[in-house]
Amino acid sequence: MAIIIDGKLTATKYNNALKDSINEMVQKGNRQPKLVVIQIGSNEASSLYIRNKKRACENVGILFEHKVFEESVSESNLLDEINKLNNDESVDGFLVQLPLPKNIDEDKIINAISPSKDADGFCPITLGNVVLNKSKIFPGTPKGIIRLLDEYKIDVTGKKVVVVGRSNIVGKPISIMLTNLSATVTVCHSKTVDLKSETCKADILIVAIGSAKFIKEDFVKDGAIIIDVGTNKVDGKFCGDVDFESVKEKVSAITPVPGGVGPMTVNSLLENVFTLYKEKVGN
Amino acid sequence: MAIIIDGKLTATKYNNALKDSINEMVQKGNRQPKLVVIQIGSNEASSLYIRNKKRACENVGILFEHKVFEESVSESNLLDEINKLNNDESVDGFLVQLPLPKNIDEDKIINAISPSKDADGFCPITLGNVVLNKSKIFPGTPKGIIRLLDEYKIDVTGKKVVVVGRSNIVGKPISIMLTNLSATVTVCHSKTVDLKSETCKADILIVAIGSAKFIKEDFVKDGAIIIDVGTNKVDGKFCGDVDFESVKEKVSAITPVPGGVGPMTVNSLLENVFTLYKEKVGN
């Protein structure tokens, strides 16, 4: 039976450590860190995610402000708000909850966020610095995956990693970050000709495609480590992109869904905010 | 016998097309495009590269200015100069010839270049936009490789590409760009455990490690396509990272050194300048 890589427990551990660090900074006379989340419209999933972020912030001592705009808000009003937040010294980081309504140009909005306030780590300049191995902040899910691997003492140096999925927020950044950490990384996607032959060679298989239970036993190598980024709802229950029951006897370690990568993504957001905060208030 | 992928011929073809496009713009009453190259000190190789860039610019009708600073120039003087160029409307692109003397912080210098003047495509924001598949300019060598493949009608979709080397200017960006073009890409490097087993699976093998004739016949698959980015000098003669004589009977196509990727890199620089120019003067 595989080791279950417990993201919930790991996130709690690091959230608690972060809480202590923040508390220490405040004891020294510094202000609390602050995150602002901008929501446009009232997408139900977005509202749920934002509530989770709010709870997580409050739990560790990060001030949280939720700014809601009507779906009909103009792009220029939104850009004005972003500009204000870029220049507001009491705000350490902010993010615009995606997806955006169709009348708003997502690129324009993300590009307007100052890299010194980029809580999500989605800005081009942040990503570029990730490529150059010089960033202090990172997209949340990749950062969370690397922390999980680290927590379970899984050294990636020289390991064969296969990433399935090439999204801008998971697949591409995690492949770059693991290359920088000296893994040998292959990125697969919908156009990969023989996916199974690729995934079967992976020491570490990372799956982020958003397709319920897509990866079965015959896609994995004996003893592989599986990181399942998917969160899909099937018959009212959450499941990952990996068929957990099918692969669990074959692999050496696996993240469950829920309770695997998900909680780590939120922890990464908090860590990014704290990193941006320290850049401002000093150590 | 393999097809020899002729970078010199291809670069000449695209340089000529660019010359026509520039000429057309000038006929319409627009000014000529302009590139500025900053050199610090008198590194011999740098001086040679700059002479090549100058000749290439003049050949296609791009104005060229070479600014030379003493090795002892201060970082702040250099940053002032960059700031001036960022704001000089007569300059479409500029670059700082690397490597820099040790007293100058390369990151600081590169970060100061406005993305709207980034002729080399090395700025973090440019690289980030390359990751996001939204950039109009690209690092020269990766851009040149993709144009070469395209010129020889080598469709990369679904192809298994292995990149050997993970540099910021070749290995990492080409792997991202080819992932965006739907190849299945693996990046190998000095920490890869079984390099040969990786390279032997490549439909397209790209080598950029700076080690003369490192890749021999037993590293390549029958019929593979080889892109050799290396430029090494052995016994007074240039050679690549691939042992051309050893692999040429086994592969289906290969770039020679010299005359392969090298001329394409210079063409990419000119194309970047023209792209930045068009952003400024309009079409």
CATH code for position B158: 3.40.50.720
CB contact under 8 Å between B132 and A131, yes or no, is no
Is residue A207 within 8 A of residue A228, CB to CB? The reply is yes
In a domain, A279, yes or no: no
Look over chain A and give the mean of its residue pLDDT values, rounded to a whole number: 97
In a domain, A18, yes or no: no
A145 plus A236 within the same structural domain: yes
A191 plus A233 within the same structural domain: yes
pLDDT tens per residue across span B163-193: 999 999 999 999 999 999 999 999 999 999 9
B76 plus B174 within the same structural domain: no
Q: How close is the nearest chain A Cα to the Cα of B216, in Å?
A: 21
Of B6, B97, B118, B172, the active-site residue reads B97
- How far apart (Å, rounded) are the C-alpha atoms in residues A179 and B66? 36
Q: What is the mean pLDDT of residues A97-114?
A: 94
A111 plus A163 within the same structural domain: no
Nearest C-alpha neighbor of A141 from the set A37, A48, A254, A272: A272
- How far apart (Å, rounded) are the C-alpha atoms in residues B91 and B36? 7
Q: Is B218 a catalytic residue?
A: no
Q: Nearest by CB to B127, which of A128, A158, A173?
A: A128
pLDDT of B283 above 70? no
A108 plus A149 within the same structural domain: no
B103 plus B41 within the same structural domain: yes
Using the Cβ of B175 and the Cβ atoms of chain A, whether some distance falls under 8 Å is answered with yes
Q: Is the ipTM of this complex over 0.85?
A: yes
pLDDT tens per residue across span B193-233: 999 999 999 999 999 999 999 999 999 999 999 999 999 99
pLDDT tens per residue across span B91-116: 999 999 999 998 899 999 999 999 99
User: What is the DSSP code string of chain A?
Assistant: -PEE--HHHHHHHHHHHHHHHHHHHHHTTPPPPEEEEEEES--HHHHHHHHHHHHHHHHHT-EEEEEEE-TT--HHHHHHHHHHHHH-TT--EEEEPSSPPTTS-HHHHHHHS-GGGBSSS-SHHHHHHHHTT--S---HHHHHHHHHHHHTT---TT-EEEEE---TTTHHHHHHHHHHTT-EEEEE-TT-S-HHHHHTT-SEEEE-S--TT-B-GGGS-TT-EEEE---EEETTEEE-SB-HHHHTTT-SEE--SSSSHHHHHHHHHHHHHHHHHHHHH--
In a domain, A239, yes or no: yes
* The pLDDT of residue B164: 98
In a domain, B123, yes or no: no
pLDDT band, very low/low/confident/very high, at B79 (cuts 50, 70, 90): very high
Residue of B nearest to A161 (CA): B186
In a domain, A8, yes or no: no
In a domain, A45, yes or no: yes
- Domain membership of residue A151 as a residue range: 140-262
Specify the number of domains making up chain B.
2
B93 plus B147 within the same structural domain: no
Last residue of a domain, one of A117, A151, A169: A117
Using the Cβ of A160 and the Cβ atoms of chain B, whether some distance falls under 8 Å is answered with yes
In a domain, B8, yes or no: no
In a domain, B128, yes or no: no
A185 plus A84 within the same structural domain: no
CB contact under 8 Å between A186 and B184, yes or no, is yes
C-alpha of A58 from chain center: 19
CATH code for position A103: 3.40.50.10860
CB contact under 8 Å between B128 and A132, yes or no, is no
| CB within 8 Å of B58: residues ≥ 6 apart | B64
Q: Nearest by CB to B172, which of A107, A179, A184?
A: A179
A156 plus A187 within the same structural domain: yes
B150 plus B42 within the same structural domain: no
A176 plus A238 within the same structural domain: yes
pLDDT of B254 above 80? yes
Q: What is the mean pLDDT of residues A19-27?
A: 98
pLDDT tens per residue across span B13-60: 999 999 999 999 999 999 999 999 999 999 998 999 999 999 999 999
pLDDT tens per residue across span B113-163: 999 999 999 999 999 999 999 999 999 999 999 999 999 999 999 999 999
Spell out which residues of chain A touch residue B134, defining contact as CB-CB under 8 Å.
Answer: 107, 124
A167 plus A244 within the same structural domain: yes
Q: How close is the nearest chain B Cα to the Cα of A228, in Å?
A: 20
pLDDT band, very low/low/confident/very high, at B1 (cuts 50, 70, 90): confident
Phi, psi (deg, nearest 5) at residue A102 = -65, -25
pLDDT band, very low/low/confident/very high, at A282 (cuts 50, 70, 90): confident
